[in-house]
């Protein structure tokens, strides 16, 4: 579905999570005489949120008896057995707000519809939120079917169709819940625990440092109550690993935790421990030369040479390695969709003893790994990429020494900006010749997925694949602008402002079409079309959904509706959301 963010329907309600602690919520009426269930549900919700429910004008003596029986033991609950008066709105509330009630729920019989009208307009004047059951014309908010994690993790899932089908909303909610990992409660609890530990420990130290006194914020980390307010375009901000400032050093555990929450397999998050975020800030020991773990792994963060070819083992260890029967393969997993995984790659995944995977290998691919197979996910986060690479190489070498079949699972193709060549040379230098299985590279798959013909007669006669981030974070050499070329930039969106500035300085056409293709072939795929000059501005506005590529050239709009991509200052981009996965019976392929 294509949608223009600037022309979204204006009537959609603003969904928020409201706090009700100590608030007075007034329930006028208890529903039809044959059922009090809706009123009970409302009271339960208010009590669970820490509020004080007051019921006035109950519909029948039977309702009064049921409510007393179920809620009479709650000191916060009150029932007033008389007819409602408008003065109740300004006399039953808290002293703090001059006795005005905080929220009103109305559920009166049809015969009292005129009273519903009066209550609604009085609430409007007093700015009291009001919900009238089954009467949206007399409501300023509505309740949403919500699932609350019974294990108390704090997770709540709510779905609304905005009046287009309450039953359908419940069904959609159930479908979402059924697809959550079984350990979702443990996942949320563990992430909350780690967040509190890291924030408290690292930021207490920062508070003592003078330079931090004027800036208490946690930019880009998604910390706080506004879960929609984190600036995702800063999420993958370039951090030069060996040139971090003192503040970046102090905040890196917070940044890494944010990325773990975003990228790691959901069902693995409950197993993450605080030790996984430990760094070398307290260690300045000189690395030993006789140990594989000291030479290579460096999760402790001691400074390591970045070139994998410089990692050395003792001669005795090399001889021992050459005698083992361990095998290794470098396997491309494609852009993300299971349908784009090669049969060879699938065979390797199914027969591995241990899989070493990139952090961006999508969950759908990881779900294919047999439960008995050990899986290790690389901890490649800003400021830790080189160390994490060394840790991964160490894990692979150790497994090969033990005679295991190792699969190095890489996103896309191993040799297209995937360090495949470096890893091949590293393992070869230690006596293991890797088998290399190509994968569909995102650089070319994403153009197809975005309806962009990378080459087309009279439009584009060549394709160039570039990186947006060179060694140690440097900008790559800027290529010349060729009008008939489609250029695909990988690893570029986190520094779009710097890259686009340099492109324009080097003669690139500012009005050439550009497409940002994110999460290609995954269900949450997003394709954003704009012009090159507006790419940084667009990235900042829509945020980031890694991994993503930037495609530049006339081919971007070759198949697009002209009216859709006719941009100007008032309409700078258009978004196309979603990808429909091809249905494949994986198990039948290996029978």
DSSP 473-540: GPPPPPPPP-TTEEEEEES-GGGHHHHHHHHHHTT--TTSEEEEEESTTSTT-EEEEEEGGGHHHHHH
Distance CA 135, CA 148 (A): 26
d(C-alpha 197, C-alpha 545), whole Å: 27
* Per annotation, catalytic residue among 107, 202, 358, 413: 358
- Can you tell me the distance from the alpha carbon of 197 to that of 527, in angstroms, rounded to the nearest whole number? 37
Tell me whether residue 380 is one of the annotated catalytic residues.
yes
Residue 254 has, within 13 A of its CA and on its CB side, a CA count of 22
Q: Is residue 358 annotated as a catalytic residue, yes or no?
A: yes
Helix H, strand E, coil C: the string for 30-43 is CCCCCCCHHHHHHH
Backbone angles phi, psi at 122, to 5 degrees: -70, -40
Query: Residue 547's closest CA among 319, 262, 317, 204?
Result: 262
Between CA 41 and CA 47 the distance in angstroms is 10
**Nearest-5° Cα angle at 229, 227 to 232:** 100
Token pair of 412 as six digits: 């896309």
Spot the catalytic one: 379, 380, 410, 572: 380
Q: What is the DSSP letter of 271?
A: G
SS3 220: coil
Q: Which two tokens stand for residue 162?
A: 């905005």
- List Cβ<8 Å contacts ≥24 apart for 384-387: 384/241, 384/252, 384/256, 384/279, 384/301, 385/241, 386/241, 386/242, 386/304, 386/306, 387/241, 387/298, 387/299, 387/301, 387/304
Residues 6+ positions from 48 with CB-CB distance below 8 Å: 148
| Buried/exposed code over 88-100 (b: 16+ C-beta within 10 A; e: otherwise) | bbeebbeeeeeeb
Instruction: Report H helices in 224-360.
Output: 246-263, 292, 315-322, 343-351
Q: Give the whole-angstrom CA distance, residue 384 versus residue 400.
A: 24
Contact by Cβ (8 Å): 3, 33: no
> 452: which 2 tokens?
């962009």
Residue 165 φ/ψ, nearest 5 degrees: 150, 95
Q: Are 170 and 144 in contact (CB under 8 A)?
A: no
Which one, of 329, 339, 330, lies nearest residue 368 by Cα?
Answer: 339
* Catalytic residue list: 358, 380
């Amino acid at each position: 579905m294509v949608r223009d963010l600037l022309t979204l329907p204006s009537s959609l309600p603003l969904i928020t999570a409201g706090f009700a602690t100590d608030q007075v919520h007034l329930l006028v009426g208890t529903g039809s005489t044959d059922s009090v269930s809706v009123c009970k549900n409302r009271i339960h919700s208010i009590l669970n949120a820490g509020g004080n429910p007051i019921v006035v004008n109950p519909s029948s003596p039977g309702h009064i008896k049921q409510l007393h029986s179920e809620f009479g033991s709650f000191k916060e609950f009150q029932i007033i057995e008389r007819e409602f008066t408008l003065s109740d709105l300004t006399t039953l509330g808290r002293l703090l707000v001059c006795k005005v009630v905080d929220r009103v729920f109305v559920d009166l019989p049809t015969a009292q519809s005129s009273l519903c009208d009066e209550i609604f307009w009085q609430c409007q004047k007093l700015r009291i939120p009001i919900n009238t059951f089954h009467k949206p014309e007399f409501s300023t908010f509505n309740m949403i079917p919500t699932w609350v994690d019974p294990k108390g993790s704090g997770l709540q899932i709510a779905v609304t169709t905005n009046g287009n089908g309450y039953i359908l909303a419940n069904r959609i909610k159930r479908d979402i819940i059924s697809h959550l990992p079984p350990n979702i409660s443990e996942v949320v609890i563990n992430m909350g625990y780690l967040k509190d530990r890291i924030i408290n420990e690292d930021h207490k130290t920062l508070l003592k440092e003078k330079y931090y006194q004027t800036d208490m914020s946690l930019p880009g980390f998604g910390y706080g109550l506004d879960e929609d307010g984190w600036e995702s375009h800063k999420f993958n901000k370039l951090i030069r690993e060996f040139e971090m400032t003192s503040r970046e050093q102090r905040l890196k555990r917070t940044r890494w935790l944010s990325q773990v929450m975003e990228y790691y397999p959901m069902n693995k998050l409950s197993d993450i421990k605080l030790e996984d975020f430990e760094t070398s800030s307290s260690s300045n020991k000189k690395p030993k030369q006789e140990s594989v773990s000291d030479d290579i792994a460096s999760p402790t963060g001691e400074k390591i040479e970045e070139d994998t070819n410089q990692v050395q083992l003792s001669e005795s260890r090399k001889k021992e390695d050459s005698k083992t029967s361990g095998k290794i393969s470098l396997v491309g997993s494609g852009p993300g969709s299971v349908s784009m995984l090669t049969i060879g790659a699938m065979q390797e995944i199914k027969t591995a003893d241990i899989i070493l995977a990139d952090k961006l290998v999508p969950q759908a691919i990881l779900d294919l790994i047999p439960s008995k197979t050990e899986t290790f996910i690389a901890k490649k986060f800003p400021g830790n990429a080189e160390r994490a690479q060394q840790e991964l190489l160490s894990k692979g070498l150790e497994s090969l020494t033990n005679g295991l079949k190792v699969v190095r699972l890489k996103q896309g193709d191993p040799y297209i900006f995937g360090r495949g060549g470096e890893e091949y040379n590293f393992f070869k230098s230690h006596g293991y010749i890797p088998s290399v299985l190509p994968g569909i590279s995102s650089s070319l798959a994403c153009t197809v997925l975005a309806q962009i013909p990378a080459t087309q007669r009279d439009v584009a006669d060549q394709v160039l694949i570039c990186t947006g981030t060179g060694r140690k974070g440097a900008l790559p050499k800027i290529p010349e602008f060729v009008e008939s070329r489609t250029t695909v930039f990988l690893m570029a969106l986190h520094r779009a402002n710097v890259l686009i500035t340099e492109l324009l300085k080097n003669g690139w056409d500012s009005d050439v079409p550009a497409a940002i293709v994110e999460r290609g072939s995954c269900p949450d795929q997003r394709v954003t079309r704009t012009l090159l000059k507006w790419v940084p501005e667009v990235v900042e506005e829509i945020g980031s959904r890694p991994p993503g590529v930037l495609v530049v050239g006339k081919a971007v709009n070759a198949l697009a509706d002209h009216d859709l991509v006719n941009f100007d200052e008032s309409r700078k981009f258009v978004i196309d959301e979603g990808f429909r996965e091809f249905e494949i019976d994986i198990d039948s392929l290996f029978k």
